[in-house]
């Protein structure tokens, strides 16, 4: 018997090919099987099906769980699985599989189950990059390099300061994903098509048997909403935006113009014509994938826009972009982690600061502390000396030595400072060492900053491992219950 029923004649091949999700459903097939098992167990527990029926259905599902038996011309995997069961067990037995459930609650549940795993996988990949940043900080974190604003040299910072900045934004991405996990980890089962069902099912225990925290409260909301998926893809997008900014930095820093880092050959590609080339392809691909992931977010959001409640087949289109986004993001983070961990800062990065004037604010601060200028007066005076340095093509300390006495008189106070003191005031490593504020770029802060972040990373990883463990044990428990019932009746028959 065809599960399409007697209401409709056969669908046109073109319409079926166009509307079928059989291909993309391979992503959720094992979850669909698990949902069918849990539902059958719930029916049995509620006395809605007999033991022999549930036993035979569960036995079928246990063999089906090794993977989908692909068949052409099916609306989707849900349909195909039930049809396979009917073909194998007969409709008098397999016909109970969908008693009290719909594809609508089933698909929403399966998507949530797959997304739970993808969220945890991405969180692990992000943690890898965080770990790589701490490795760099441990290796070279106290060295002082240029920091930029407007992509113009701004002030000296430590390599660690850069690493911690990126680490902290990734920590928020990680945290955000785990918050989205909480809203994903709710079970739509028992919602049936949209109204709930008169078939008695304990929604709470059914949710628990699939590893969910609780059921989605309202049945119509349960089958209609995909905001959990949109939110998860936003989390992936935000993480990828952070990854793209780091990627851009690696690309810039590895140019001959900057020459701040040397990427490891394993994370670079050559040119087919220019023998000298070493291209930062991992960073470039990650930068581009950020665009694809954001594209996935826009796809999900616009599919949801103005969609009437409850289920519409439009929702089927909102799922594949989610998997693509998570695949791309996880792969990007894994590759970037390797590229970052293996890169080396060059001498040029750490030595190029000496005469570039990026510590000019130290001189202004000195004039405030020692010579009674307000900061704005000192800022203006030092700005004039910077201009003179640029015009004459000399270092700032040279320009200050020559120009300060006269410039200070023009500013209303006579100041002269000897060359050695000026060089000390403008020394980039002294600049960093004098930073007093928490979270600043002082090399002395680096060790403690690494230690707190290592602890943070450990607890983040632990949280992810805990959630993975819960999923794994609920999976095992469900299989065991299904096997027990399947065996029980088999031995009697
Ligand atoms: N293939 C569908 C999806 O992915 C499953 C739900 C279909 N429901 C329906 N009423 N046709 O969303």
- How many angstroms separate the alpha carbon of residue 370 from the centre of ligand 1? 75
Output the pLDDT for position 66.
54
- pLDDT tens profile 33-46: 999 999 999 999 99
> Which of 34-48, 220-234, 417-431 bottoms out in mean pLDDT, i.e. has the lowest?
417-431
Judge whether residue 70 has pLDDT over 90.
Answer: no
Catalytic residues: 150, 271
Beta bridge partners of 215: 187
Judge whether residue 271 has pLDDT over 80.
Answer: yes
- Ligand 1 binding site (Cβ under 6 Å of any ligand atom): 21, 76, 78, 103-104, 107, 311, 313, 315-316, 319
- How many angstroms separate the alpha carbon of residue 32 from the centre of ligand 1? 12
Residue of minimum CA distance from atom 2 in ligand 1: 316
Please report the atom of ligand 1 found closest to the CA of residue 78: 5
Residue of minimum CA distance from atom 7 in ligand 1: 103
Closest CA to 405 of 375, 379, 367: 367
Cβ atoms of 246 and 336 within 8 Å: the answer is: yes
CA 91-97-100 angle, 5° bins: 120
Cβ atoms of 32 and 25 within 8 Å: the answer is: yes
- How many angstroms separate the alpha carbon of residue 242 from the centre of ligand 1? 35
Q: 458 or 73, which is more confident?
A: 458
Judge whether residue 68 has pLDDT over 60.
Answer: no
Please report the atom of ligand 1 found closest to the CA of residue 193: 10
- How many angstroms separate the alpha carbon of residue 83 from the centre of ligand 1? 15
Please give the Cα distance from 187 to 235 (Å, whole number). 21
- pLDDT tens profile 370-401: 999 999 999 999 999 999 999 999 999 999 99
Please report the atom of ligand 1 found closest to the CA of residue 21: 1
For a pocket test of ligand 1, which of 104, 223, 323 has the largest count of ligand atoms closer than 8 A to its C-beta?
A: 104
Please give the Cα distance from 364 to 464 (Å, whole number). 48
Please give the Cα distance from 289 to 302 (Å, whole number). 20
Residue of minimum CA distance from atom 12 in ligand 1: 316
- How many angstroms separate the alpha carbon of residue 80 from the centre of ligand 1? 12
Q: What is the pTM of this model?
A: 0.95
State the Rg of the chain over Cα.
Answer: 31
């Amino acid at each position: 018997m065809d599960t399409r029923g007697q209401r409709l004649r056969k669908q046109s091949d073109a319409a079926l090919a166009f509307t079928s999700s059989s291909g993309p459903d391979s992503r959720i097939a094992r979850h669909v099987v698990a949902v069918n098992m849990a539902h059958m167990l719930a029916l049995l527990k509620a006395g809605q099906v007999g033991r022999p029926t549930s036993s035979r259905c569960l036995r079928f599902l246990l063999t089906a769980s090794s993977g989908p038996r692909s068949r052409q011309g099916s609306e989707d995997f849900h349909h195909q699985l039930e049809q396979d069961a009917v073909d194998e067990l007969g409709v008098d037995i397999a016909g109970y599989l969908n008693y009290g459930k719909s594809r609508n609650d089933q698909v929403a549940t399966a998507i949530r189950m797959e997304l739970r795993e993808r969220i945890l996988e991405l969180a692990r990949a992000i943690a890898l990059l965080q770990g790589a940043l701490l490795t760099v900080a441990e290796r070279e974190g106290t060295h002082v390099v240029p920091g930029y604003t407007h992509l113009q040299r701004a002030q000296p910072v430590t390599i660690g300061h850069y690493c911690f900045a990126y680490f902290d934004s990734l920590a928020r991405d990680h945290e955000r994903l785990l918050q989205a996990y909480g809203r994903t980890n709710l079970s739509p089962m028992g919602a049936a098509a949209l109204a709930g069902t008169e078939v008695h099912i304990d929604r709470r225990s059914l949710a628990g048997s699939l590893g969910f925290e609780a059921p989605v409260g309202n049945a119509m909301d349960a089958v209609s909403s995909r905001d959990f998926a949109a939110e998860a893809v936003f989390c992936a997008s935000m993480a990828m935006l952070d990854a793209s900014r780091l990627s851009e930095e690696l690309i810039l820093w590895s140019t001959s113009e900057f020459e701040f880092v040397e990427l490891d050959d394993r994370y670079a590609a050559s040119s087919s014509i220019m023998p000298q080339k070493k291209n930062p392809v991992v960073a470039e691909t990650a930068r581009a994938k950020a665009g694809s992931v954001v594209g996935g977010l826009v796809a999900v959001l616009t599919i949801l826009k103005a969609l009437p409640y409850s289920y519409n087949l439009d929702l089927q289109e909102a799922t594949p972009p989610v998997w693509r986004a998570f695949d791309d993001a996880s792969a990007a983070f894994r590759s970037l982690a390797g590229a970052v961990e293996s890169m080396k800062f060059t001498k040029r990065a750490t030595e190029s600061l000496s005469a570039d004037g990026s510590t000019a604010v130290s001189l202004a601060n000195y004039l405030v502390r020692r010579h009674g200028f307000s900061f704005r007066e000192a800022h203006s005076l030092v700005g004039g000396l910077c201009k003179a340095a640029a015009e004459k093509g000399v270092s700032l300390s040279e320009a200050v030595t020559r120009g300060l006495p006269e410039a200070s008189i023009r500013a209303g106070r006579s100041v002269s400072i000897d060359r050695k003191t000026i060089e000390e005031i403008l020394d980039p490593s002294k600049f960093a060492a004098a930073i007093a504020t928490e979270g600043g770029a002082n090399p002395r802060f680096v060790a403690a900053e690494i230690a707190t972040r290592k602890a943070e990373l450990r607890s983040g990883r632990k949280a992810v491992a805990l959630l993975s463990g819960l999923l794994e044990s609920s999976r095992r428990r469900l299989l065991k219950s299904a096997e027990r019932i399947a065996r029980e009746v088999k031995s009697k028959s």
